[in-house]
Amino acid sequence: MSRYRPPQKSGAKYITGEGEKILKEELHQLWKVERPQVTHSVSEAAALGDRSKKC
């Protein structure tokens, strides 16, 4: 297996205003909604001495 990658065309990769909004919404969802839920679940499990995944 070779690690060679052929050269790619150069060019700027732009993001639209709509794309930026979607990414910011996703970031907000992950950091402000899902992350606190996960950390709460992990801390509860750690308090019980169990850190295995039980989803």
What the block records as the tokens of 46 is 């750690």
Evaluate if residue 14 carries a pLDDT over 70: yes
Identity of the amino acid at 40: H
| Separation of alpha carbons 9 and 26, rounded Å | 29
> Residue 19 — pLDDT band, cuts 50, 70, 90?
very high
Evaluate if residue 8 carries a pLDDT over 90: no
Evaluate if residue 13 carries a pLDDT over 90: no
Neighbours of 54 (CB within 10 A): 7
pTM of the predicted structure, to 2 decimals: 0.59
* Distance, first Cα to last Cα, the chain: 37
Q: What is the dihedral of CA 29, 34, 36, 39, to 10 degrees?
A: -150
